[in-house]
Amino acid sequence: MVKSLMKITSMPVQLFILNKFKPAPIWNLRIGAGCLRRGGIFLNKINIRSSALAISVTLLLIVSACGTASSAERQLVERLGKEITVIQSNAGALYKSGPVVDKTVQLGADFIGLDWTGEDSLIVSKRAKQMIGQVADEQKPPSYLYLRHLNKSQDSSPTLGMEEILKGNENFVYTQISPDKKHLFYIQQSENYVHRVGKIMNLETGGITEIKSDVGVIWEAAWTDKKSLLLMTGNGMIVRLDVTGKVSEVLETGEVNIPPSLVVSSNGSVYISHSSSTLFVYDPTASVFIKIMDNARLVAPSPDGNRLAIVKRISAAEEKLIFTDLNGKTEKTIGTSASINGISWSPDGQRLAYSVTSDAGTGNNGVFITNEQTTESTPLKLTNDSVSGLMKWSPSGKKLLINYEAYDKDSRTFQFNGTVVYFK
């Protein structure tokens, strides 16, 4: 059955999410003289004039340090030559400090982490490298997927605790693990993008189901429950299928060969962002798209499905990270930067990890963790390397998987370094 998804309505989103969530609390907002107030927190914009530094600093993102100094009622993240945001708090002593890093564990040279299968185990991949003079795909060394057991590994021997689960002649470029951690969806792709196949692996038996090619080129996937998932294809389709590969529903989006992003929340709501970065939520019962906002490049529903973290494009050189209700109404602004990526909620919904990338050449990159209630952002300060892909929390929220990438000028290649951060 094929349904057209070109029905787009501007009706209030409450009509779609009725009975799916509790109404968001009404904030006591008062706007005046450039100040937004809520619960003792003030957001003021101040222009700091100076020619000493360029605008390049991305962030420090309006990073607030509300609770770290009880004697300071106002704290600034100073970036000269650019309008910044000041976050002021009268209740800083009540806020807990940010997460404290206990240790980090490297996954090994050229290893990247893909997803968690348990609190101390995760799927990792070692990327195959093209050697000088090799031209044919079959000449490349194979790519591998491993199950990495963190409690069996040692810092001095990163490969200890590796269990090979899959080997192939093409790169593994996309993975999504099922909610019950028993099935792994992945895409194998050749370097020229011509060969791109979706597969589902049973992690308990090792059995593999290949998705039929007639669904189109697969770009993204999202599990809706432990036994079914949605695929976003290059021919403008959203395909629903089960772990056996059986297709139960095909939906047309009209976005041919332009892969939009696809996200499914815990309450079953389906979010897609089209090529124009217009964010929609889809009601499967009414086959209707409901527009949430324009210029939304990334979206991450909270674990309870009641709020959204959104990276919104402000201009060609600036983005902002915001928390919104399900209507897209901004509740809290976390910060602005040249580029914000990797947004990932902790399992309890109390923290959000995100990465920022500065203007080219400044080296002001990093990972931050925001307290959802206070909007206080804490930098991890591990490295200035850029973050590649989505960061992922362990089931307990006590560990964070980060894949860093660094450009090697000598070899003119990107080097990847998967890292697990342990928090106290």
If pLDDT is split at 50, 70 and 90, which confidence band does 238 have? confident
Is there a domain that residue 59 lies in?
yes
Structural domain range at position 64: 30-89
Is there a domain that residue 291 lies in?
no
Cβ atoms of 420 and 104 closer than 8 Å: yes
Is there a domain that residue 74 lies in?
yes
DSSP per-residue string spanning 356-422: EE-STTS---EEEEEETTT-BEEE--S-SSEE-S--EE-TTSSEEEEEEEEEETTTTEEEEEEEEEE
Q: How far apart are the first and last CA of the chain?
A: 51
Is there a domain that residue 82 lies in?
yes
Please report, for residues 333, 341, 376, the alpha-carbon distance to residue 319 in angstroms, rounded to integers and kept in the order given.
Answer: 11, 10, 18
**pLDDT tops 50 at residue 262:** yes
**pLDDT tops 90 at residue 402:** yes
pLDDT at 340: 93
If pLDDT is split at 50, 70 and 90, which confidence band does 153 have? low
Is there a domain that residue 55 lies in?
yes
Mean pLDDT of 305-321: 93
Is there a domain that residue 216 lies in?
no
d(CA 311, CA 277): 10
pLDDT at 208: 93
Is there a domain that residue 357 lies in?
no
**Least trusted range by pLDDT, from 155-169, 244-258, 344-358, 370-384:** 155-169
Question: 39 or 122: whose pLDDT is higher?
Answer: 122
**Least trusted range by pLDDT, from 25-39, 101-115, 144-158, 307-321:** 25-39
- Kindly state the percentage of the chain with pLDDT values over 90: 36
**Least trusted range by pLDDT, from 91-105, 162-176, 297-311:** 91-105
pLDDT at 122: 93
**pLDDT tops 80 at residue 23:** no
Question: 91 or 173: whose pLDDT is higher?
Answer: 173
Domain count within the chain: 1
Cβ atoms of 28 and 55 closer than 8 Å: no
If pLDDT is split at 50, 70 and 90, which confidence band does 283 have? confident
If pLDDT is split at 50, 70 and 90, which confidence band does 157 have? low
Is there a domain that residue 353 lies in?
no
Q: Which two tokens stand for residue 318?
A: 């600036």
- Kindly state the percentage of the chain with pLDDT values over 70: 66
d(CA 393, CA 289): 30
What is the SS3 assignment for 99-115? CCEEEEEECCCCEEEEE
**Least trusted range by pLDDT, from 9-18, 94-103, 301-310, 383-392:** 9-18
**pLDDT tops 90 at residue 250:** no
pLDDT at 162: 81
Buried b (16+ CB within 10 A) or exposed e, 296-319: bbbbbbbbebbbbbbbbbeeeebb
Flag whether the pTM goes above 0.75.
Answer: no
If pLDDT is split at 50, 70 and 90, which confidence band does 64 have? very low
Question: 16 or 204: whose pLDDT is higher?
Answer: 204
Q: Return mean pLDDT, the chain.
A: 72
